[in-house]
Structure 1
Amino acid sequence: MKLKNNRISFYSTKNILVIILILISYTSCEEFVDLDLPPDLINTDKVFENEGSAQAAMRGIYAYSSSSSAITSMFKFVGLSSDELEKLSYNVEETMFATNVIASNSSTISNIWRGFYNIIYQCNNLVLNVSESTNLSEDTKNQLVGEAKFMRAFCYFYLTNLWGDVPLSLVVDYDVVRLLPRSSVAQIYAQIEEDLLDAQNKLSSDLYTTAGERIRANKWAATALLARVRLYQENWADAETQASAVINSGFYELESLTEAFFATSRESIIQLANSSVNRYTFVNLTGSTVAAPTYRLTSFIADNISSDDGRRAEWLTPTLNGVYKYKTYSNTRGPETTEATNILRLAEMYLIRAEARAQQDNVIGLNSAESDLNTIRSRAGLLGTTATTKVTMLQEIYTERTRELFGEWGHRWLDVKRTGQADAIFGANKTGWVSQAALYPIPFDDLERNPNL
């Protein structure tokens, strides 16, 4: 729908979050009609002239993201696409991902694609309106634009790694957005880099707006995501530099395996907050019973986690190797603690730096790939690595990534693809694998609406 005069109601700080999300839903509808609104409404640009409501708009983006199927599907369906996750029984959608024969009319494919683009639209809308605001302070404008650009970069990172060439949308004009062609992976990464560098400059190094919670992006969140981007681009030197900046910032430390996914975890660089008073996340993979976990590791992955590895006891169910990193299924189940969805955490930074150092032939010794890898192994109760060459060290790092990052954000799927091993590994572990399955199909409805795709 198109809102005549583009106005929304301003009731209170408590309600503005819902109002802004409703506005965004209206302005991104597929069919456009004129709609008269009641006379007690104000122009949307006024929302971004007010400190409280502008902050609420940013909180609205995080709130939408925390329950968006684009986010929740990353853990489940992308895990099924790789050789990482399996189930005792599958529905039609799950079967498509597990067998890597995904129809373009898959509702899950559509939900992930549109979910990410919906977040991007909201970020574009905020960047535009905040940048043009004349009442907000420069500090506030920098913070909000920096956060929005971090989230936009985050979404584009997954879009291009799941689909390859995708439309690059930086505006809110429907007539422009609806006919965008696909941009190359290189163009998408260039925009991701630009957004993250700008976010680094704009965001505070120590800003966490709610005491004890790390639910909004700061400079280190942008730096951590940039470290990952540099790794994927094989810019080893800068991947090491960016990861080191986060590790040495003094804001983060590895937690015990038990507390790594708590809302209070000092390992978390940025999390998605739970909605309302919920103690649980939307990405619990175990299900309602530990004895019969909904999602479990395949034997190929589980067999790499030895009995003396603390992650087996802490992060897997006692039976069937169920993924048990997030343990609280609902408000009435689980430990008396609050969990929050980790977007980025410190352990990944050590693994990024280890890989970057190994690629630069800094394999063993002080401040090397060996020392970083052993930091992660030690937390899991394992002895130090025995790898001494670049080839064996890199293989150890890849294996350690599967042990440390399983069940999170489709890391296994992306790692195997970015290292050029998809055909060799998935071909050996998945029946009927074909190279084309490494990229998801663009949703059929979008292909029909946009001939430029």
Structure 2
Amino acid sequence: MKKTFLFIVIICTVGMNVNCSKEEFLDQPLRGRQQLDDFFSTPENAVLFVNGIYNKVNGESWFQANFPRQINEMATDDQWSGNTIQPRPDITGIAAYNVFAGSTYFNLFWENHYIGITRANISLERIPNVDIDDELKNRLIAEASFLRAFFYFDLVRSFGGVPIVTTYNELLEPEIRDKTRASVDEVYALIEEDLTKAISVLPLRSEYAASDLGRATKGAAQTLLAKVFLTRERWAEAQAMALNVVQSGEYTLEPEFENIYSVDNPHGVESIFEIQYINDPQFTDIGGQLSTTNGSRGDQGWGWGVPTSHLENAFLSEGDSIRLRSTIIKHGDPVYGDPDVTEFDGEPSENKSGRTNRKYYIPLAKRPEPYQRGQHPLSYIHLRYADVLLMHAEAAYFSNDENTAKSSLKLIRDRVELDTNMSLTGTALRDAIWKERRLELALEQHRLFDLRRQKVNGISRLATIMGENGSFVKYNTEESTDPFETTNLGEAQDKGILFDINVHLLWPIPPAEIQLSQGNITQNPGY
């Protein structure tokens, strides 16, 4: 973390629906305790400060958080890097496991998250002393606790044990120099503690005013904690926590799968934790980014993170036409849900697979003017109810509760008109649940972490998919006849062959952080 004065930039409606004017943007740094004392002198400023934490969930620009998460997906069997016309070894190298430890994207992701943690720490330190209604005070503290847990969960899954910082010191750099990496167990203990506190205080979704939708809720904290338990293989606790969300009655599956990522459906019935965006040409970077970064280069996009034919075949093997049409757009095909596009331009000469992510696509008639990065009104959903049901199914399976696992699995498949084999048992049931996670949550930035944590005979599934003998590498080099992927070799067909299980289950600690700590922070093995 570089020596950084705290910039609090309140971006309206990113994280929640907040009415604001240009005057409410804080574009001056806050330096030292006296200025913090002055700032936390009113309830309104306390709310604004917490709003500023939410800004770091997706980053305050395209390259800080969500694009590194996209790169994670490029390092799986679901996505290619995609853009074959613009050489970017800092992107394609990560996707191909030819990893440069000093990549800008690792550094930005780390820095973005620690700035978010710093903002949360300041909130947790200062808000208890603000003259404010107790109910609001406690809620803001709980929101900050949830967000700090969110940031640390991202960090520990990406880098392993990381420095734990829970207080704020305006002389930030000397404090960081004294830090060492906490153990993975210690980081998870803090995450669990923060989420448990948040759960005890946060309102249910139904208890928020419409203008506050998007703030952390009890259901969001329970969902994130269920995911933490699932990652830690604490199966019974994961099942119980997911069941709490189910039994709350606050969420349900969208009746139509296509409406989950509809630009007309912010904070839909399935959404648990969502970052909502708006379009306002007066300001930059207050709208979404993914419709551009993921969009086809033949459709005003950058062409990064394109779906693989391997993913498409996974849908086809299930006869899953409903989710396929709302997940993947293929060059030359009509775009489902956009009557104005009968022959999509996937630009296969510049796109490894000739395919584009449908979930982040905005139909032509619904595009704002201007249609550009930082102005897209399409929300991004971090946690949704289908994920809860699938976590519940997986945790139930590993808790030897197969009937419950199949019941939750069936709810997901019923929505997309797929039969569920209720006689499944053993590893066949496990594999069906894992496949369902892939199809349901495809291209939503869950796949890499799922593959890392899921194990077969004690070995991460990522090692069975990537590497010289990995199924994805063999598919592309020995089996695939896809006309786009096999002819556009601007991205190597053997992507993933360099994967090393002893190295690549974590990303490298940014070297700048190691240098800043004067060696107190150590590097992950192999980098």
- Shorter-chain TM band: 0.7 to 0.9
Two-structure CA RMSD over aligned residues (Å): 2.9
Mapped contact 2:214–2:267 kept (Cα < 8 A): no
TM-score, with normalisation over the residues of structure 1? 0.86
| Partner deviation per Cα, 1:100-145 (whole Å, 9 max, x = no partner) | 12222211111111111111111111111112x1412221121111
Mapped contact 2:156–2:184 kept (Cα < 8 A): yes
Distance in 2 (alpha carbons) for counterparts of 1:323 and 1:223: 29
Mapped contact 1:212–1:264 kept (Cα < 8 A): no
Q: Given residue 323 of structure 1, which amino acid in structure 2 is its aligned partner?
A: N
State whether structure 2 residue 315 is matched by structure 1 residue 315. no
Question: By how many angstroms is 1:82 displaced?
Answer: 2.0
Q: 1:91 aligns with which of 46, 64, 88?
A: 88
* Residue of structure 2 in register with 1:80 after alignment: 74
Question: By how many angstroms is 1:201 displaced?
Answer: 1.1
Mapped contact 2:409–2:433 kept (Cα < 8 A): yes
- Larger mean CA deviation between 387-396 and 324-333 belongs to 324-333
Q: 2:162 aligns with which of 148, 166, 183?
A: 166
Instruction: Return closer, same or farther for 1:135/1:13 CA change in 2, 3 Å cut-off.
Output: farther
SS at 1:65 equivalent? coil
SS at 1:317 equivalent? strand
Distance in 1 (alpha carbons) for counterparts of 2:196 and 2:23: 30
Q: 1:412 aligns with which of 447, 456, 459?
A: 447
Q: Given residue 263 of structure 1, which amino acid in structure 2 is its aligned partner?
A: P
Q: 2:275 aligns with which of 272, 275, 295?
A: 272
Q: 2:368 aligns with which of 325, 328, 331?
A: 331
Question: By how many angstroms is 1:384 displaced?
Answer: 1.4
Instruction: Return closer, same or farther for 1:17/1:448 CA change in 2, 3 Å cut-off.
Output: farther
* Residue of structure 2 in register with 1:305 after alignment: 315
* Residue of structure 2 in register with 1:151 after alignment: 147
Q: Given residue 270 of structure 2, which amino acid in structure 1 is its aligned partner?
A: E
Question: By how many angstroms is 1:250 displaced?
Answer: 1.7
* Residue of structure 2 in register with 1:120 after alignment: 117
- Larger mean CA deviation between 374-383 and 385-394 belongs to 385-394
Distance in 2 (alpha carbons) for counterparts of 1:445 and 1:177: 12
Question: By how many angstroms is 1:71 displaced?
Answer: 2.6
SS at 1:217 equivalent? coil
Query: In the TM superposition, what are the counterparts of 1:282-297 in structure 2 within 5 Å?
Result: 282-284=289-291, 285-287=294-296, 289=298, 294-297=304-307
How many residue pairs align between the two structures? 426
Mapped contact 1:281–1:326 kept (Cα < 8 A): no
Structure 2: runs of 5 or more not aligned: 9-18, 332-353, 455-459, 473-495, 522-527
* Residue of structure 2 in register with 1:432 after alignment: 498
| Partner deviation per Cα, 1:231-281 (whole Å, 9 max, x = no partner) | 111111111111111122122111121211231411101111215548952
Question: By how many angstroms is 1:45 displaced?
Answer: 2.0
| Partner deviation per Cα, 1:374-415 (whole Å, 9 max, x = no partner) | 111122221213552121111111111111112123x11111
Q: 1:111 aligns with which of 104, 108, 111?
A: 108
SS at 1:258 equivalent? helix
| Partner deviation per Cα, 1:275-312 (whole Å, 9 max, x = no partner) | 55489522232346469954322222221112543111
Mapped contact 1:96–1:102 kept (Cα < 8 A): yes
Question: By how many angstroms is 1:373 displaced?
Answer: 0.8
Distance in 2 (alpha carbons) for counterparts of 1:193 and 1:171: 18
TM-score, with normalisation over the residues of structure 2? 0.75
Mapped contact 1:373–1:385 kept (Cα < 8 A): no
Q: Given residue 72 of structure 1, which amino acid in structure 2 is its aligned partner?
A: N
Distance in 2 (alpha carbons) for counterparts of 1:186 and 1:346: 27
Mapped contact 1:104–1:443 kept (Cα < 8 A): yes
* Residue of structure 2 in register with 1:34 after alignment: none
Q: Given residue 301 of structure 1, which amino acid in structure 2 is its aligned partner?
A: L
Mapped contact 2:71–2:305 kept (Cα < 8 A): no
SS at 1:157 equivalent? helix
Question: By how many angstroms is 1:347 displaced?
Answer: 0.6
Query: In the TM superposition, what are the counterparts of 1:91-240 in structure 2 within 5 Å?
Result: 91-131=88-128, 133-173=129-169, 174=172, 175-206=174-205, 209-211=208-210, 214-240=213-239
SS at 1:61 equivalent? helix
Q: Given residue 257 of structure 2, which amino acid in structure 1 is its aligned partner?
A: L
Question: By how many angstroms is 1:190 displaced?
Answer: 0.2
Distance in 1 (alpha carbons) for counterparts of 2:396 and 2:287: 37
* Residue of structure 2 in register with 1:33 after alignment: none
Instruction: Return closer, same or farther for 1:13/1:54 CA change in 2, 3 Å cut-off.
Output: farther
| Partner deviation per Cα, 1:194-240 (whole Å, 9 max, x = no partner) | 00000011211246655176311011111110111111111111111
**Share of identical aligned residues, percent?**
25
* Residue of structure 2 in register with 1:23 after alignment: 29
- Larger mean CA deviation between 396-405 and 84-93 belongs to 84-93
Q: Given residue 377 of structure 1, which amino acid in structure 2 is its aligned partner?
A: R
- Larger mean CA deviation between 215-224 and 273-282 belongs to 273-282
Mapped contact 2:227–2:238 kept (Cα < 8 A): yes
Distance in 1 (alpha carbons) for counterparts of 2:151 and 2:423: 35
Mapped contact 1:127–1:145 kept (Cα < 8 A): yes
* Residue of structure 2 in register with 1:381 after alignment: 417
Distance in 2 (alpha carbons) for counterparts of 1:160 and 1:138: 33
- Larger mean CA deviation between 63-72 and 259-268 belongs to 63-72
Instruction: Return closer, same or farther for 1:179/1:22 CA change in 2, 3 Å cut-off.
Output: farther
| Partner deviation per Cα, 1:61-117 (whole Å, 9 max, x = no partner) | 223434443431244111112222111415122121121122222111111111111
